[in-house]
Amino acid sequence: MHESKIERIAVIGLGKLGSPIAACLAAAGYTVVGVDTDPAKVEAINAGHAPVNETDLEATISRSEGRLTATTEIDRAVEQADATLIMVPTPSDPDGRFSLKFVLAAIRATGRALRTRRGYHLVSICSTVMPGATGGEIREALELTSGQRVGETLGLCYSPEFIALGSVIRDYLNPDMVLIGESDPCAGAALESIYRTVCHNEPSVQRMSFVNAELTKIAVNSYITTKITFANMIGGICQNLPGADVDVVTGALGCDSRIGRKYLKGAVGYGGPCFPRDNVALARAAELAASGADLARSVDQTNRAEVRRLADLVRTHLTDSQHTVGVLGLSYKPHTEVIEQSQGLLLTQALAGDGVPVIAHDPAALANARAVMADDIRFAETLEECLAAADVLVITTPWPQYTQITNAMLAGAGRHRKLIDCWRCVEDVALRESADYIAIGVGPREATVDIDVHVNATSLQVA
Ligand SMILES: NC(=O)c1ccc[n+]([C@@H]2O[C@H](COP(=O)([O-])OP(=O)(O)OC[C@H]3O[C@@H](n4cnc5c(N)ncnc54)[C@H](O)[C@@H]3O)[C@@H](O)[C@H]2O)c1
């Protein structure tokens, strides 16, 4: 096995994943050329600006001290690089599989650029793909277009990231685990050396075959979606059980080291660009492998039903058909403008579909929501505008500004509004104790039992 020193890296795809990772690699000392078909992203990088909204991205680009440039010409970037990392979209097909349309376009262009190149080159796929894809269609396309066999001079890896939008840079630099599916030990070692250089911690590096890595990636996210759905089920039970409180129950559950605290909130269904898709993809992978997909399917169906459950609950608090619901939060989580499969968006659509007047607010996602929502949805530019227009408010995303809503704010303009807090995040004690506050996952107050202390002479008799 020969050692291959990686100094220059091409990053194909400068989106939500690619641009922060390109910046981290350059900040760590690699010479990085980013490639995107979108000239606006290329221009942003070359001007030292963040092409997407991500925490610390602009600062990380500036720490790269000129080692990060970008181009729309993939061949120029790949020809000069020792490694090519592919981070293009893999949209879901109608049957739940990840489409390879963009990955294969990028791989073919990479392969063509490698035709005349001498010396070792590593190609790594970071985009999420189905089990069997890297060793199948991807490898075939790379070998066909490059005219080289994967092995001696051409390494191939599959290395997806476990990052969350809003903390992509922190997560990339401090991973729990680095997952590497490798064509051979040389390819895996070359990629591992990049992570060892860039990461601020000493992550567990899990190296394995392509298919095991492909399955691991979607299994990790599907395990988390199952955990979220389980906690939501506990929340649903608590909601109807006098005296029960999901935070108390899941707080104790999380203390068991076999379970752990993370993703055990018991609030709304999961959303975003990864969890729903990865869960459905695992179910599809199970079916394609002629294995049972019941658990993954059930998690998906339960999660899809969450929004109907919430919409029905909201409607029980509307005392007039003209009453307006204010949906607080359209992004799938705080600190991002991404709205894909967000519960706020789905709730807004469900209520509007029921004919309920809705006004929606979000600190960051209004523009994205406007682009996909029907014309009959109203949007509030400010939280105050939403509070003023709504009769019943629902916190669907726990943005920090929503935790600061007070009893006084709800009681303004001479009327009381109800607040349904899906995350139990409001801090104002007076509001939490008022009759206008409904916490999801908290049961009705326990009925006070009137103990009848009627004592009669016979009951005092000792037998
Ligand atoms: N965003 C996440 O949180 C996240 C997390 C883990 C994994 N992933 C996976 O990473 C991959 C990328 O996700 P993303 O969120 O960064 O997508 P994105 O849509 O934000 O960015 C993809 C970029 O690739 C560019 N592109 C498409 N085809 C190209 C080509 N042939 N050459 C050059 N550029 C091209 C697009 O213009 C776009 O800028 C997906 O497979 C996704 O499932 C994403």
Report the pLDDT value the prediction gives residue 445, as an integer from 0 to 100: 83
User: Taking 90 as the threshold, does the pLDDT of residue 451 lie above it?
Assistant: no
Do both 70 and 191 map to the same domain? yes
Q: How far is the CA of 355 from the centre of ligand 1 (A)?
A: 36
In a domain, 454, yes or no: no
**Integer CA distances (angstroms), 290 to 100, 286, 293, 294, in order:** 22, 6, 9, 12
In a domain, 457, yes or no: no
In a domain, 44, yes or no: yes
Query: What is the DSSP code (8-state) at residue 382?
Result: S
User: Taking 80 as the threshold, does the pLDDT of residue 139 lie above it?
Assistant: yes
Q: How confident is the model at residue 413 (pLDDT cuts 50, 70, 90)?
A: low
Query: Which of 301, 323, 354 marks a domain boundary?
Result: 301
Do both 24 and 170 map to the same domain? yes
Domain span at 394: 307-439
Do both 172 and 232 map to the same domain? no
CA–CA separation, 393 and 417 (whole Å) = 7
Ligand 1 site, residue 89, Cβ cutoff 6 A: yes
User: Taking 90 as the threshold, does the pLDDT of residue 106 lie above it?
Assistant: yes
Q: How confident is the model at residue 357 (pLDDT cuts 50, 70, 90)?
A: very high
Do both 287 and 318 map to the same domain? no
Reading the block at residue 343, the tokens are 């519960």
Do both 258 and 315 map to the same domain? no
In a domain, 451, yes or no: no
Reading the block at residue 409, the tokens are 């704010």
In a domain, 247, yes or no: yes
Do both 416 and 388 map to the same domain? yes
Query: Which of 301, 330, 347 marks a domain boundary?
Result: 301
Q: How far is the CA of 68 from the centre of ligand 1 (A)?
A: 18
Report the pLDDT value the prediction gives residue 458, as an integer from 0 to 100: 34
Do both 324 and 292 map to the same domain? no
Return the top range by mean pLDDT from 396-405, 415-424, 444-453. Answer: 396-405
Mutate to test the pocket of ligand 1, among 36, 55, 336 (most ligand atoms within 8 A of CB): 36
Report the pLDDT value the prediction gives residue 374, as an integer from 0 to 100: 75
Reading the block at residue 180, the tokens are 């590497």
Q: What is the pLDDT of residues 333-356, one digit of tens each?
A: 999 999 999 999 999 999 999 999
> Catalytic annotation on 274?
yes
In a domain, 107, yes or no: yes
Q: How far is the CA of 26 from the centre of ligand 1 (A)?
A: 19
Do both 314 and 292 map to the same domain? no
Q: What is the mean pLDDT of residues 84-101?
A: 97
Asked if residues 267 and 423 have their Cβ atoms less than 8 Å apart, the reply is yes
Do both 61 and 138 map to the same domain? yes
Report the pLDDT value the prediction gives residue 376, as an integer from 0 to 100: 75
In a domain, 55, yes or no: yes
Ligand 1 site, residue 163, Cβ cutoff 6 A: yes
Going by alpha carbons, the residue nearest to atom 25 of ligand 1 is: 13
Ligand 1, closest atom to CA 88? Answer: 24
Report the pLDDT value the prediction gives residue 117, as an integer from 0 to 100: 83
Query: Which of 179, 208, 237 marks a domain boundary?
Result: 208
Q: What is the pLDDT of residues 220-241, one digit of tens each?
A: 999 999 999 999 999 999 999 9
Q: How confident is the model at residue 321 (pLDDT cuts 50, 70, 90)?
A: confident
Q: What is the mean pLDDT of residues 265-273?
A: 96
Domain total of the chain: 3
Ligand 1 site, residue 224, Cβ cutoff 6 A: no
Beta carbons within 10 angstroms of residue 184's beta carbon: 14
Do both 234 and 130 map to the same domain? no
Q: What is the mean pLDDT of residues 146-169?
A: 95
* Of 186, 274, 386, 422, catalytic: 274
Ligand 1 site, residue 273, Cβ cutoff 6 A: yes
CATH assignment at residue 340: 3.40.50.720
Q: How far is the CA of 15 from the centre of ligand 1 (A)?
A: 5
Ligand 1, closest atom to CA 41? Answer: 39
Do both 293 and 312 map to the same domain? no
Q: How far is the CA of 322 from the centre of ligand 1 (A)?
A: 43
Ligand 1 site, residue 135, Cβ cutoff 6 A: no
Within 13 Å and on the Cβ side, how many CA atoms surround 105? 13
In a domain, 446, yes or no: no
Ligand 1, closest atom to CA 35? Answer: 33
Ligand 1 site, residue 12, Cβ cutoff 6 A: yes
Q: How far is the CA of 98 from the centre of ligand 1 (A)?
A: 12
Please name the amino acid found at residue 189: A
Do both 29 and 158 map to the same domain? yes
